[in-house]
Amino acid sequence: MSEPATDPVVMFQMIEPHIALVTLNRPEKRNAINGDVAKAIDAIVKKTEADPDVRAVILTSCDDRVFCAGADLAALAQGGGSVLETPQGGFAGLVYANRMKPWIAVVEGKALAGGFELCLACDMIVASNAAMFGLPEVSRGLIAAGGGLGRLARRMPTAIASEIIATGASFGAQRALAFGLINRIAEPGQALAAARELARQIVPNAPLAVQYSLAAARTASALPDGAGRTVVNEWIALLMKTEDFHEGPQAFVEKREPVWKGR
C-alpha cells in the first residue's frame, strides 16, 4: 500500500550555481529505501545527467541522526527485492545507475546496510565525527547485494574490508578517514557545508573533463596498467572532440577565464 501523499520522499533543489542537492526525506522510516524512493532517485539521476547546468550532486538526509537505514524491510517482505530497485539504477535507483556527474554523499549519522551502499555508490563521501558506517546484513542472514561488497573491497585494504563484511560491525568516521574511505570529516552539523565547499572546487573545472576523468578512473582502477592506459586513451580521444577541450588552452593563451559549455 502506498503511503499518503505528503512531502516528497526525495527532495531536489539547485543550491548554488551548478550544484544540486538531493535529500532523502522519509524521517519516520529512517530514510529506508522503498519503491517510491528508488523511483525518485532514478528520475533525479536521469534529470541531472541530462541537465548541462548540473556539474556536481550532493546526496544528504533530512535527519542528522541517520543518513539511510537501508532497505525498507516491510516493503521487502511484501514485494521482494525487486520493488526496491529500478531497471536502470538497481537498488535505490542509484547503485548501478549509468551516470557521469560526480556525486558526493553527506553523512551526519548512521549509514548502514543499503544506506552505506548508497554512500559507496557515490564518488566521494563527506562525514561528520558522529557518522557511523556498516554492512550488518550477515547478522540478519542476508548479503549486501547493492554493490557494497565489491566497492568496499576496492576502496579499503582487503583484510579490513573482510573484517567489516564478516563481522557486520559498525565503525566510525575517524576509522573511515584513516583508511581513505571518506574524503573529509567535519564537526557534527557541518558535513553539508564541507561537502558544498568540496563541490565548489569541482564546478569551476571543465565539466566533461571531470566526468570523463572519473569514468576513466573507475574503469582503469580495476585493470592492469596496460589495459588501464588503453581505457584512459579512449576517454582522451572522446574529450578531444569536444568544444571544451579547445576552450581551455585558448583561454590560457588569451589570459582569460575559460567559458565551459559542457559540449
User: Which cell is 111 given?
Assistant: 549509514
Sign of the four-CA dihedral 225, 228, 232, 237? positive
Look up residue 200 and give its amino acid: R
On whether the CB atoms of residues 73 and 32 are closer than 8 A, the answer is yes
Half-sphere exposure in the Cβ direction for 89 (13 Å, CA): 25
On whether the CB atoms of residues 147 and 126 are closer than 8 A, the answer is no
CA distance 192 to 142: 32
User: Which cell is 89 given?
Assistant: 539504477
User: Which cell is 130 given?
Assistant: 558522529
Q: What are phi and psi of 229, to 5 degrees?
A: -65, -40
Closest CA to 206 of 231, 165, 239: 239
| Cα torsion through 203, 207, 211, 214, rounded to 10 | -50
CA distance 96 to 87: 9
Q: Active-site residues: which are they?
A: 117, 137
